[in-house]
Amino acid sequence: MISIKNLHKSYVTGNNSLHVLKGISLEVEEGEMVSIMGASGSGKSTLLNVLGILDNYDSGEYHLNGMLIKDINETKAAQLRNRTIGFIFQSFNLISFKNAMENVALPLYYQGVNRRKRNQIAMEYLDRVGLKDWWTHLPSELSGGQKQRIAIARSLISKPKVILADEPTGALDSVTSMEVMDLLQEINNEGITILIVTHEHDIALRTQRSIKLKDGIIENITYHQSPYKAVASF
């Protein structure tokens, strides 16, 4: 599903260049649930942004679902994102003046689906994440866990093959975090590939393996046989 080879990326600001990803190679199979760990500044979000076609890379190769993603224009990138990728963020990124249903429906608006139809589909996804009765509520009227469920429903509505989650539980208490992980687990069980950036060990333990980044390279990979039990590492 995801294949990157010797990927490098630098940020250039003025005369300064910061080499952030320094030769990352990684294969993620369809249906895997993988975590990306590492200290703040190690390049986790940068990697996720490249994988999500939100940002370019300098050298190496990135294939998504068999397609080489390199120097593609923004229109094409947006198309690929809409068709293939769902995003979940630590800060939920919901639109504050739209209610739960409208937030979930938003990706379908961009696909040109009419209001009646997209709201109907959004209600199905709200039901799926257990929030059907909350559809009229604005984000400010919802708890953190509820907001993240809304964001997850929004990420699912365009039927993505891959979900990229950047610290999805970073703003949640530990009980709510586990509930969000339960939901992501269910989604993964249906075959959607999931990559989760996290610096929380108990979140990482719920994924099949953890990729640990350090200063822009993969330091090690830890495999987890089942939730809460690490079995091997190198």
- Summarize as ranges the residues that interact with Mg ion (CB under 5 A): 44-45
- Report, in Å, the least distance between residue 129 CB and ligand ADP: 26
In 41-173, which ranges are continuous DSSP H helix? 44-51, 74-84, 100-110, 115-128, 144-156
Pick what 13 binds: Mg ion, ligand ADP, none; C-beta below 5 to 8 Å, kind-dependent.
ligand ADP
Query: What percent of the residues of the chain are helix, what percent strand, and what percent coil, each to the nearest 5?
Result: 35, 30, 35
Q: Which region, judged by CB under 6 A, interacts with ligand ADP, from 38-46, 68-76, 103-111, 171-179?
A: 38-46
Q: In the set 1, 24, 35, 38, which binds ligand ADP (CB under 6 A)? A: 38
Q: In the set 41, 76, 110, 141, which binds ligand ADP (CB under 6 A)? A: 41
Beta-sheet pairing, 162-166 with 193-197: parallel
- Report, in Å, the least distance between residue 209 CB and Mg ion: 19
42 binds ligand ADP (CB under 6 A): yes
**How many residues form the binding site for ligand ADP (CB under 6 A)?**
12
Residue 202's CB is within 10 A of a number of other CB atoms, namely: 14
Nearest to 164 by CA among 72, 60, 89, 77: 89
Q: For ligand ADP, which is the closer residue by CB, 48 or 100?
A: 48
215 binds ligand ADP (CB under 6 A): no
What is the C-alpha separation between 159 and 162, in angstroms, rounded?
9
**Are the CB atoms for 223 and 217 separated by under 8 Å?**
no
Q: For ligand ADP, which is the closer residue by CB, 40 or 140?
A: 40
Ramachandran bin of 84, using left for φ above 0, alpha for ψ from -120 to 50, beta for the remaining angles? alpha
- Report, in Å, the least distance between residue 195 CB and ligand ADP: 13
9 binds ligand ADP (CB under 6 A): no
